[in-house]
Amino acid sequence: MGIHFVCATADEVVGELEIAAHHRQPYGIVHGGVHSGLIETVASVGAALAALPRSQSVVGLENHTSFLNAVREGKLIATARPLMRGRRTQVWEATVTDAEGRAVASGRVRFLALEAGASLAGETVKVKESPKS
């Protein structure tokens, strides 16, 4: 998608995307899937960073994205913050704005935290160890 991460912590993730022709649908506006994917990506990074110290990984269970204003060009900025971080699930909320700060999409993503060794789609989940400070 071409997302550039501005910052990424367990408390906030900010990513930017410069709109290109392949991000637009036939009417010339950014495709809703781009907004959904951008929201899920920034939220996933934050959820993963929050789960990593517990030697967990996360997978998305639900993505609800609302499209607020159409946009055709420029830069999109997505900011995600946690609403709830539990032992087994997390919920993150994200807002996508244009370069002028106008909200163009918002969404919530719910995640399931997986322990190392759990089975996911027929494969064993491998979790990298948390980096030491």
**Which pLDDT belongs to residue 128?**
66
Tokens representing 99 are 């370069």
Ramachandran quadrant class, 126 (left: phi over 0; alpha: psi -120 to 50; beta: rest): beta
Q: What is the mean pLDDT of each run of 10 residues along the chain (133 residues)?
A: 96 97 95 97 97 94 97 97 96 97 98 85 72 51
Q: Which ranges of 24-94 does DSSP label H, i.e. alpha helix?
A: 32-51
**Which pLDDT belongs to residue 133?**
45
Tokens representing 104 are 């163009």
Scan for tokens 């999409």, then name that residue: 105
- Residue 128 makes CB contacts below 8 A (sequence gap 6+) with 52
Tokens representing 117 are 């060794």
The two counts, helices (H) then strands (E), for the chain are 1, 8
Ramachandran quadrant class, 28 (left: phi over 0; alpha: psi -120 to 50; beta: rest): left
